[in-house]
């Protein structure tokens, strides 16, 4: 079974090898990665990984009409690796698939949902947990405090990415979900607890029902923040999708939940670390990883000498972890959101 991960990257070399190692450990067989404007050597790391096999690297230079991510997906639609895949997942380097059943591998999840054409992998936010300094350590081991498993608000806590069976039912890949349902196609969608989702999900929807637990079989660990120093670099880099806003303090507050400890991803840690250490031991990848770490540290130092990034860093130091809303406040926000969007279709991010 060929499972293809598709991603778009810029200056992510410090985190790349852990991400690759984890997903190889749980059964992802191939990667298709587009890079643009890299200064830290991410593109060189991807070239080396492509030469080693199991990964395809494509350069994605600008200018782009809607940003590098959308351009990459338009090109991925036509890539031979996409045509050969049995399943595809479009996701980012700060997102880690965390499968709770069987041995924690993709095969276990797909076997448990034999009729599924699309599986919605709902985010679980992992907060900053007060980590100030950037460190060259596995993200999955540094950040273990997360949002509650069920949250009515913010609605973004229920956003998903889609593990899609490659049966040609959709015309295009999308950032969160496939787009362009073909005439007559009736895909079967499941959430991460195995529940069949209604036909509304065939064409629309970016989030699973917030009033229901949707992560019993699988969740998508979303390490959107990282350390405070790292977040300053993330703000400076900006989004890969021009259609949505940049990174700021509101983005941080809506994701910095540290209410519960979740170490479930560690069940596959040993195999992940075996693969990661093998990659770090490569005579080309090892030095390139060290170069990417050094670039990020130097970039942090340079940004903190500038007024705007330094002010952001100070605000992060001042801001405590986000408190989950009471059920009554959350339901109030949910009702207001439903009223506001009743006549508006979901944006396809």
In a domain, 348, yes or no: no
What is residue 237's predicted lDDT score, i.e. its pLDDT? 81
In a domain, 317, yes or no: yes
Q: Which pLDDT band, with edges at 50, 70 and 90, does 344 fall under?
A: low
In a domain, 32, yes or no: yes
Strand partners, 96: 221
Do residues 162 and 119 touch, judged by C-beta distance below 8 A? yes
Q: Which pLDDT band, with edges at 50, 70 and 90, does 347 fall under?
A: very low
Q: What is the pLDDT of residues 36-83, one digit of tens each?
A: 999 999 999 999 999 999 999 999 988 888 889 999 999 999 999 999
216 alpha carbon, distance to own chain's centre = 19
5 to 54, 185, 229, 232, 235: CA distances (angstroms): 11, 24, 28, 27, 25
In a domain, 34, yes or no: yes
What is residue 192's predicted lDDT score, i.e. its pLDDT? 98
Do residues 159 and 86 touch, judged by C-beta distance below 8 A? no
In a domain, 349, yes or no: no
Neighbours of 174 (CB within 10 A): 18
CA–CA gap between residue 228 and residue 206 (Å, rounded): 28
- Structure token digits, residue 283: 């005579």
Asked if residue 241 has pLDDT above 70, the reply is no
What is residue 221's predicted lDDT score, i.e. its pLDDT? 98
- Give me the DSSP letters along 287-343: HHHHHHHHHHHHHHHHHTTSHHHHHHHHHHHHPPPBPPPPHHHHHHHHHHHHHHHTT
Number of domains composing the chain = 1
Q: Which residues of 261-272 are buried (b: 16+ CB within 10 A; e: fewer)?
A: ebebbeebbebb
What is residue 239's predicted lDDT score, i.e. its pLDDT? 62
Q: Return the DSSP state at 118.
A: E
Mean pLDDT of 111-127: 98
**Angle between helix 13-25 and 269-280 (nearest 10):** 130
Q: What is the mean pLDDT of the chain?
A: 94
Give the CB-side neighbour count of residue 327, counting CA atoms within 13 A.
2
Asked if residue 261 has pLDDT above 90, the reply is yes
Q: What is the pLDDT of residues 2-35, one digit of tens each?
A: 999 999 999 999 999 999 999 999 999 999 999 9
In a domain, 54, yes or no: yes
Q: What is the pLDDT of residues 184-224, one digit of tens each?
A: 999 999 999 999 999 999 998 999 999 899 999 999 999 99
CA angle 145, 149, 155 (to 5 degrees): 105
CA–CA gap between residue 20 and residue 33 (Å, rounded): 11
* Max CA separation in the chain (angstroms): 58
pTM for the full predicted model:
0.95
The percentage of the chain sitting over the pLDDT mark of 90, rounded to a whole number, equals 89
What is residue 340's predicted lDDT score, i.e. its pLDDT? 83
Q: Return the DSSP state at 346.
A: P
Domain of 332 in residue numbering reads as 3-341
Neighbours of 257 (CB within 10 A): 24
In a domain, 347, yes or no: no
In a domain, 244, yes or no: yes
Mean pLDDT of 105-117: 97
Asked if residue 348 has pLDDT above 50, the reply is no
């Amino acid at each position: 079974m060929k499972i293809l991960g598709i991603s778009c990257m810029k200056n992510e070399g410090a985190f790349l090898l852990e991400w690759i190692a984890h997903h190889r450990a749980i059964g992802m067989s191939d990667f298709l990665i587009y890079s643009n404007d890299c200064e830290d050597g991410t593109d060189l790391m991807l070239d080396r990984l492509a030469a080693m096999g199991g990964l395809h690297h494509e350069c994605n230079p600008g200018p782009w009409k809607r940003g590098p991510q959308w351009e990459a997906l338009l090109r991925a639609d036509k890539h031979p690796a996409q045509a050969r895949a049995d399943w595809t997942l479009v996701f980012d380097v700060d997102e880690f698939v965390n499968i709770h059943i069987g041995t924690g591998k993709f095969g276990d999840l797909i076997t448990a949902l034999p009729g599924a054409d699309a599986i919605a992998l709902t985010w679980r936010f992992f907060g900053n947990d007060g980590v100030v300094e950037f460190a060259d350590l596995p993200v999955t081991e540094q950040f273990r405090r997360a949002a509650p498993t069920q949250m009515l608000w913010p609605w973004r806590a229920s956003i998903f990415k889609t593990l899609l069976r490659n049966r040609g039912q959709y015309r295009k890949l999308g950032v969160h979900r496939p787009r362009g349902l073909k005439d007559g196609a009736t895909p079967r969608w499941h959430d991460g607890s195995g529940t069949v989702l209604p036909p509304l999900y065939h064409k629309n929807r970016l989030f699973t029902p917030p009033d229901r637990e949707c992560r019993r079989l699988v969740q998508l660990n979303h390490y959107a923040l990282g350390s405070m120093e790292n977040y300053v670099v993330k703000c400076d880099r900006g989004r890969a999708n021009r259609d949505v806003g940049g990174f700021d303090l509101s983005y941080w507050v809506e994701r910095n939940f540290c209410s519960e400890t979740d170490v479930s991803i560690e069940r596959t840690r040993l195999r992940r670390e075996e693969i990661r250490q093998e990659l770090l031991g490569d005579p080309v990848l090892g030095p390139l990883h060290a170069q990417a770490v050094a670039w990020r540290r130097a970039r942090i130092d340079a940004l903190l000498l500038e007024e705007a990034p330094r002010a952001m860093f100070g605000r992060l130091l001042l801001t405590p972890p986000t408190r989950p809303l009471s059920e009554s406040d959350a339901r109030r926000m949910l009702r207001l959101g439903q009223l506001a969007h009743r006549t508006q279709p979901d944006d396809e991010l």
